[in-house]
Amino acid sequence: MADQGAAFQEQVEEAFLASQATVDLNTFFVITSAIFVLIMQAGFCMLTAGSVRARNARGIILKNLMDACVAAIMYFLTGWGVAGLLVGDANSFIGTSQYTLNGLDASALYNWFFQYAFAAAACTIVSGALAERASFVAYLLYSVYIIGFVYPVVTHWIWSPSGWASAFRSELADGTYKSLLFGSGAIDFAGSGAVHMVGGVAACAGAALLGPRLGRYDANGKPIPIPGHNVALAVLGTFLLWVGWYGFNPGSALGIVNGFSTTVARVCVTTTLAGASGGLMTLFTHVLIQYKVSGNVTWDVMVAANGALAGLVSITAPCATVTPYAAIIIGIIGAWVYLGGSYLNSHILKIDDPVDAIAVHGWAGMWGVLAAGLFSTEAYVAEVYGTVPGTEDGVRKYGGFYGGGGSLFAAQIVYMLSVVAWVGGMMGIFFGILKFAGILRVTPEVEAAGCDASHYGGSAYHGVGGEAGIVMPTAKAMGKGDASSTDGEELEKLR
């Protein structure tokens, strides 16, 4: 009788998992996650706006708004096709079908929405690094290019069943399976590499080719801080990003019914702990360094905010396959990687990054990819990725620190270097061409006056002061209005 009951229970569970209701509910989960991820657009916008000077706020806000728009159109036109995330028989490098969602099953459409949110995030990461000097047209072209082509290629590598670095290789027509990279495939659960490193490396290429802002380095090449104009907005953005991360990381399970909830819950916990330890460790380390160097102790919220984000970036690849303890360690090391990367960028490489996006997303993203190769436990890798199909034992490779050998770590390194090479190369060429064409950067006059006055319809803060008389007079001197409404042309005539 008990056996009968158990058998019936099993049959019902099986039937439920095969039902439309399960599809509906997993769709619900993924869509809800996507909405949380889209909160990150508001977050990036506020973080970046608050981190630049008031005279450039309006332009950077426009760029953030527009790349959410461009991302939608381009990810519809080409991005989804290039990514080929649901296509098992594409080549290993790039997807070649389902452009404009042609041939995508209606019941799988929700995946586009989730991936759109990721594409928009990857794109927006760069806006801050190019802030205060890149032209709007250059930024728009960049958005089109990265979302339509560069970014989805990387996601194809790692998340498509056809991708060369993917841990999800699919069955071939003859019943065999493509082999996994180093017998393992790389682990990048939610995109430390595919999203954050892509953004970070692109930011590095762009910022390096743009050159530093006027006044960023003194005659001896020492960096002079250029603080942002609104810490409240910047930290609001940080909080919104943090919230959005709970769509980003747990949502990457791409479903909840079917026993995924254990994984999803663990991802929430590891994400939280890594972000928290990243924030705390960055703040304390910064204070310590500062004290050693100057004898001062000041608690800098912008450093802490970037540290929390670096912790979150670091955990994005390994979030599903590590323990809570490991998450804390990953966050702590992420904090140091961020501080080191930031110093390296600003003091050694002399790349000017107004929001430290390269250090937060690029350097910490690299660390996240590596960390997945070190800290992933055997049990969690098996839980999340299942057995290796087409092999005899099906045993997954796991983290080196847990005795899993070097295969996974090797796969992570190859994947990481490939992302650096691909994005660095493709974006370096692209920004190089824009620079050569003379449309990458605004003129020094415009930059000195702030871009808003002449390019973006006037100050973001009309009628509430300004920056020591710089913005408005210069704007007038250049014969441009500062009106912001659709009536701008009217004002011109009145003058």
456 binds a second copy (CB under 8 A): yes
**CA atoms of 307 and 313, how far apart (whole Å):** 10
227 binds a second copy (CB under 8 A): yes
Size of the site for a second copy (CB under 8 A): 156
Query: Which residue of 156, 361, 441, 480 would you call a contact of a second copy, by CB under 8 A?
Result: 480
Query: Which residue of 54, 83, 201, 320 would you call a contact of a second copy, by CB under 8 A?
Result: 54
**CA atoms of 359 and 234, how far apart (whole Å):** 17
9 binds a second copy (CB under 8 A): yes
> Which DSSP string do the residues of 114-153 spell out, in sequence order?
HHHHHHHHHHHHHHHHTTTTB-HHHHHHHHHHIIIIIHHH
Cβ proximity to a second copy, 39 vs 186, nearer residue? 39
Instruction: Find all residues with CB under 8 Å of 204, minimum gap 6, and list them.
Output: 129, 345, 351, 358, 362, 424
CB of 13 to a second copy, least distance (A): 5
476 binds a second copy (CB under 8 A): no
User: Sign of the CA dihedral 272, 277, 280, 282?
Assistant: negative
**CA atoms of 360 and 345, how far apart (whole Å):** 11
Binding positions for a second copy, 345-404, rule CB under 8 A = 346-347, 356
Binding positions for a second copy, 128-157, rule CB under 8 A = 136
Cβ proximity to a second copy, 179 vs 258, nearer residue? 258
Write the interaction track for a second copy spanning residues 86-125; mark x where CB under 8 A is met and - where it is not: --------------xx----xx-xx-xx--x---------
Indicate the DSSP class of residue 361: I
Binding positions for a second copy, 306-325, rule CB under 8 A = 308, 324-325
Give 70's Cβ-side CA count (13 Å radius). 22
**CA atoms of 216 and 415, how far apart (whole Å):** 34
**CA atoms of 350 and 352, how far apart (whole Å):** 6
CB of 339 to a second copy, least distance (A): 7
CB of 168 to a second copy, least distance (A): 21
Binding positions for a second copy, 74-93, rule CB under 8 A = 76
Stretch that binds a second copy, among 219-227, 361-369, 424-432, 435-443 (CB under 8 A): 219-227
SS3 177: strand
Indicate the DSSP class of residue 213: P
Binding positions for a second copy, 155-214, rule CB under 8 A = none
CB of 415 to a second copy, least distance (A): 28
Indicate the DSSP class of residue 401: G
CB of 315 to a second copy, least distance (A): 12
Stretch that binds a second copy, among 6-14, 170-178, 390-398, 419-427 (CB under 8 A): 6-14
Backbone angles phi, psi at 231, to 5 degrees: -65, -30
Binding positions for a second copy, 261-300, rule CB under 8 A = 261-262, 264-266, 268-269, 272-273, 275-277, 279-280, 283, 286, 289-290, 293-294, 296-300
CB of 347 to a second copy, least distance (A): 8
495 binds a second copy (CB under 8 A): no
248 binds a second copy (CB under 8 A): no
CB neighbourhood size of 97 (10 A): 14
Stretch that binds a second copy, among 11-19, 154-162, 197-205, 362-370 (CB under 8 A): 11-19
**CA atoms of 413 and 406, how far apart (whole Å):** 10
Nearest Cα neighbor of 127 from 358, 343, 301 is 358
SS3 211: coil
477 binds a second copy (CB under 8 A): no
**CA atoms of 226 and 29, how far apart (whole Å):** 42
Binding positions for a second copy, 19-48, rule CB under 8 A = 19-25, 27-29, 31-32, 34-36, 38-39, 41-42, 45-46
**CA atoms of 263 and 382, how far apart (whole Å):** 11
Q: Which amino acid is at 77?
A: L
Helix 57-74 and helix 136-145, axial crossing angle in degrees, nearest 10: 30
254 binds a second copy (CB under 8 A): no
Query: Which residue of 240, 315, 416, 449 would you call a contact of a second copy, by CB under 8 A?
Result: 240
Backbone angles phi, psi at 441, to 5 degrees: -125, 150
CB of 310 to a second copy, least distance (A): 12
Question: 217: burial class by Cβ within 10 Å (0-12, 13-18, 19+)?
Answer: middle
490 binds a second copy (CB under 8 A): yes
CB of 472 to a second copy, least distance (A): 11
CB of 167 to a second copy, least distance (A): 21
